[in-house]
Amino acid sequence: MKREEMVARVKARTTPWDMAVIGGGATGAGVAVDAASRGHHVLLVEREDFGKGTSSRSTKLVHGGVRYLEQGNVSLVMEALKERGLLRQNAPHLVHDLPFVVPNYSWWEAPFYGIGLKVYDLLAGKFGFGKSRILSREETLELLPTIRQDGLLGGVVYHDGQFDDTRLLTHLIATAVDHGATVLNYAGAVELVKGADDCLKGLVVEDRESGERFNIAAQVVVNATGIFADEVRRLAQPDVQKLLSPSQGIHLVFESSFLRGGTAILVPHTSDGRVMFAIPWHEHTVVGTTDTPIENPSYEPRALEEEIELVLESAGRYLSRPPKREDILSVFVGIRPLVKSGGHSKTSSLSRDHTIHIDDSGLLTIVGGKWTTYRHMAEDCVNHAITLGDLKDAPCVTFDLHVHGYHEHPEALGPLAVYGSDAGKIQALADADPKLAQRLHPDLPYIAAEVVWAAREEMARTVDDVLARRTRALFLNAKAAISMAPEVARILALELNKNDAWAQQQVESFSSLAAQYVATPTLTNAI
């Protein structure tokens, strides 16, 4: 994927696109893959970098949602469990099985969660990942050696999926391109253009690198902008009623010693009624999350002091070594694009199902849902778009479509396994130049060749793109990421043909952004 080539394609287009997709998160990327693989001419534009919004900030689970089962939402859970199975089948390099244990400290928990998780297994049917089982105290300690032992009676083990959200996103964007789509990051939709009949005919896109504006004609315009969906709807119709009720969730990241053994913890009800996950991820421990209603969407939401305290407190109740504030390596915050429904005061009770909404102008908005169900959401959206735009009625083919980089035995690919079949090309860069084989930081696995690859093949344009989304350095260890920034800027400047002043400015702006991911008193006072 080369950005210059994408810009050239946009400029060269003389006929309307079948579909213009606004938004390069999980939803927009999924729609672009679905539509392009059906043979439609697709343009996807993203105002920032792919995944800069919510899609880089998830809990990293490909799951049916045990909590939604408790809420009685059986159809949502079944749908998500099916999608979980399809995703592992189509992207085995990016999705893997993760055992979870629900630890039991009261007599009723083993039968209660044991039965609930058997139902979860049953609903997965042929898409199941592994059978759930009630565990003795000894078996629980074997799987979770760092769980609090005081009062522990046993546990229930079950299986779900885990992934790296922006790695999957990058590979979905690449899949769309493999099927003919044109994709452009740092290109925002700034106007929606209507014809004499008051219906949408296209949009104006601003290239944020050159400042140039492009008039884009399209049969259908899809609004897949997540938490920004109402803002985009207002471009066509300033007085539209809001669809969204956003809620933020935070995660704290610690070193791996807090959760040894490769098994995750699920606490279905913390003292304040939340779900708590503690998950092993990329040799670290991720703990979350919260559910705090917020007023306005933003790209870099801040963790509230009470959210940090809540997560530390609930982790401390279940881990034998309670993590302290100084143990936090990174704090990351995401905003859920939840769809409003009348009468609910708590966002945790709002539906995680997706919504398709068509405004009077013909703007098709798809919002809500979750990462796990992106494929199903895309299928539904493109089916609607075909009718709306009178497009060629081709059937959806993503049920068994391999995601870019598909590899049946990723475990054979070593530390670059998440790149799937691209791993060999990155290794070849490192083999050809020993400097590129060097790690960028002793505490993280990333090598310089990955920066070169990100710039040449994955449309990375900034230090933030590389450290936050092509690699996950910022999310794993913010201070380490800050110290990697100068070398990443130097390599990027060479690759993108930029000068020293550009590199210096990149380091400065990344360092000030990354400071927000470090849980220092500055962060706590910022709220």
Ligand X SMILES: Cc1cc2nc3c(=O)[nH]c(=O)nc-3n(C[C@H](O)[C@H](O)[C@H](O)COP(=O)(O)OP(=O)(O)OC[C@H]3O[C@@H](n4cnc5c(N)ncnc54)[C@H](O)[C@@H]3O)c2cc1C
Return the number of the residue (52 or 407) whose C-beta is nearest ligand X: 52
Q: What are the structure tokens assigned to 216, written together?
A: 């884009």
Closest distance of CB 406 from ligand X, Å? 20
**Residue 466 corresponds to which tokens in the numbers above?**
């590389």
Number of CB atoms found within 10 A of residue 311's CB: 26
Cβ nearer to ligand X, comparing 351 with 483 = 351
Distance from CA of residue 372 to its chain's centroid?
A: 10
Q: What's the min distance (Å) between Cβ of 33 and ligand X? A: 13
* List of residues contacting ligand X (CB under 6 A): 22-28, 45-48, 52-55, 57-61, 63, 188-189, 224-228, 232, 249, 289, 334-337, 369-372
Q: Which run of H or E residues covers position 378?
A: helix 374-389
CB neighbours of 511 closer than 8 A, spacing ≥ 6?
482, 485
> Would you say 354 or 402 has its CB closer to ligand X?
354
User: Would you tell me how many other CB atoms lie within 10 Å of the CB of residue 157?
Assistant: 20
Cα 73 from Cα 52, distance rounded (Å): 30
Considering the complex, state which of residue 219 and residue 247 has its C-beta at the smaller distance from ligand X. 247
Q: Which is nearer to ligand X, 92 or 301 (CB)?
A: 301
Min dist. Cβ of residue 228 to ligand X (A):
4
Distance of CA 507 to the CA centre of its chain: 25
Provide the angle, in degrees to the nearest 10, between the axes of the packed helices 26-37 and 165-178: 30
Phi/psi of residue 458, nearest 5 degrees:
-125, 15
Integer Cα distance of 157 and 287 in angstroms: 18
Q: Kindly state the smallest distance separating residue 294's Cβ from ligand X, in Å.
A: 11
Nearer to ligand X among residue 129 and residue 507 (C-beta): 129
User: Judged by CB, which is closer to ligand X: 252, or 335?
Assistant: 335
Query: Least distance to ligand X from the beta carbon of 264, Å?
Result: 11
The tokens describing 258, both together, are: 């807090």
Which stretches of 164-246 are assigned E, i.e. beta strand? 182-184, 187-194, 200-207, 213-223
Residues 6+ apart with CB under 8 A from 77: 64, 65, 68, 69, 120, 123
CB 329 within 8 A of CB 257: no
CB 404 within 8 A of CB 172: yes
**Of 46 and 207, CB closest to ligand X:** 46
Least CB distance from residue 20 to ligand X, whole Å? 10
Write down the least CB distance from residue 478 to ligand X, Å.
17
Q: Residue 427 or residue 462: which is nearer to ligand X going by CB?
A: 462
Strands (E), 329-418: 330-336, 354-358, 364-368
Closest CA to 480 of 287, 307, 284: 284
For residue 31, the minimal CB distance to ligand X (Å) is 9
Q: What tokens were used for 464?
A: 């933030």
Between 369 and 405, CB nearer to ligand X: 369
Minimum CB separation of residue 185 from ligand X in Å reads: 9
Q: What is the DSSP string of 341-361?
A: -TT---GGGS--SEEEEE-TT
| In the complex, minimum distance from the CB of residue 25 to ligand X, in angstroms, rounded to a whole number | 2
